[in-house]
Structure 1
């Protein structure tokens, strides 16, 4: 298999047959790339393990940082039909990414990235890669090594961010334990949102038990907020922490 690096070349001119709001939505290459800075990552298939657990979530997470450093749009391309891509985006809750369905593999073939995955029952799919495109021209391309299986070492979001903005700071992971109907939990979540901090919510009774909370945090009350692996505490503790961070900035 020969995978050609196409840095310096223009992206292919195709029309992506996509779905949006349960209707057809054709998207041309020019609509996406003309006069804009676009990060693209392509992958073998929707709903597949690495794509769903790592590739898409991290790009969605780092989207605000990439856009802060001049990226207009982040695009995910896969050789899947529009119905599948629309359903996958909803399942991933990846509203910061544009999902393009390359159902016939036309874009992927013209990129020289169409590979045979018949051994998995997939037929022809895209090799995993990412690229930075400025006004339709590929400035940088990260292609996964030609190795058996599905390597995932260079097309990730962190590698792309390091190229786009080498000194950019990645957001710290924020987790908040809550329970339904808790006003202090609602207050903590609002503070995080007002501070423009993305967070993962773990709801007691749905995602975890009281025993899990106690084992993970040593506490019996909610909310419990963690930032970068460090326990901040409850809503009052979070308020003080946010004030300290703002003063330090």
Structure 2
């Protein structure tokens, strides 16, 4: 079993990072002193669960965490700074601080540096999350010591439920569009003006066809908008929904 370090200080290590063409060193004090910080650590940049679920959800909930007193959210992995910078750009996770624990010093200090030689990874961080207040670990969610890469408790929703179980979460908006669609542009602009983030699925990409559109929405026109899994309809129906939920 991994040791829970709640009530203890974070390891006092430094992190060499690359910003543009310059090297910079970040210290633990710079990252944590006088701040409330979430850290979520994972086995590796660009790996499936990390890229599809763990990181995106923390980025999605970042404004909610900020509204509930969190100053920064750090994604930590035993990768070098160039890999972490490339991953940050690929993920477009602008609300997250990507921290390269390249030598594994921080992960080792946390007692969570593990051997992933069977995957050709070498030494990597075990998956976990923690809430740090002024450099002291307030709460930890460590994945169970099971084979593989369990992902059960270090997710963003578990952390948010600990911080504020009644926090209002952002709506999940998905829009199916097609190129050159004026009503799609109108719908996207309506969402942007009101501060809604949305996922856009464009017909003709990744195997998404008109048959897909009809099967999912029962309609043959674009856009078709879904909010929190519920089918709202097209641009006109969206504007009515936005008016009713202003």
Query: The TM-score by the shorter chain falls in which range?
Result: over 0.9
Alpha-carbon spacing, 1:213–1:109, altered in 2? closer, same or farther (3 Å): same
Distance in 2, matches of 1:29 and 1:213, equals 49
2:106 maps to 107
**Unmatched 5+ stretches in structure 2:** none
1:85 maps to 84
Q: CA deviation at 1:245?
A: 0.8
1:51 maps to 50
**Unmatched 5+ stretches in structure 1:** none
1:126 maps to 125
Q: CA deviation at 1:222?
A: 1.2
Q: CA deviation at 1:107?
A: 0.8
1:203 maps to 202
2:222 maps to 222
2:245 maps to 245
Moved more, 100-109 or 11-20: 11-20
Alpha-carbon spacing, 1:218–1:166, altered in 2? closer, same or farther (3 Å): same
Q: Secondary structure at the match of 1:185?
A: helix
Q: Secondary structure at the match of 1:112?
A: coil
Measured against aligned partners, the alpha-carbon deviations of 1:159-201 in whole angstroms (never above 9, x if no partner) come to 0000011111332321011122222212211211222222100
TM-score for both structures, normalised by structure 1: 0.94
1:235 maps to 235
Q: What is the root-mean-square deviation of aligned Cα atoms in Å?
A: 1.4
1:27 maps to 26
Moved more, 165-174 or 136-145: 165-174
Q: CA deviation at 1:211?
A: 2.0
Report 1:113-152 matches (<5 A): 113-152=112-151
Distance in 2, matches of 1:141 and 1:113, equals 12
Measured against aligned partners, the alpha-carbon deviations of 1:139-167 in whole angstroms (never above 9, x if no partner) come to 00111111111111110101000001111
Distance in 2, matches of 1:34 and 1:12, equals 12
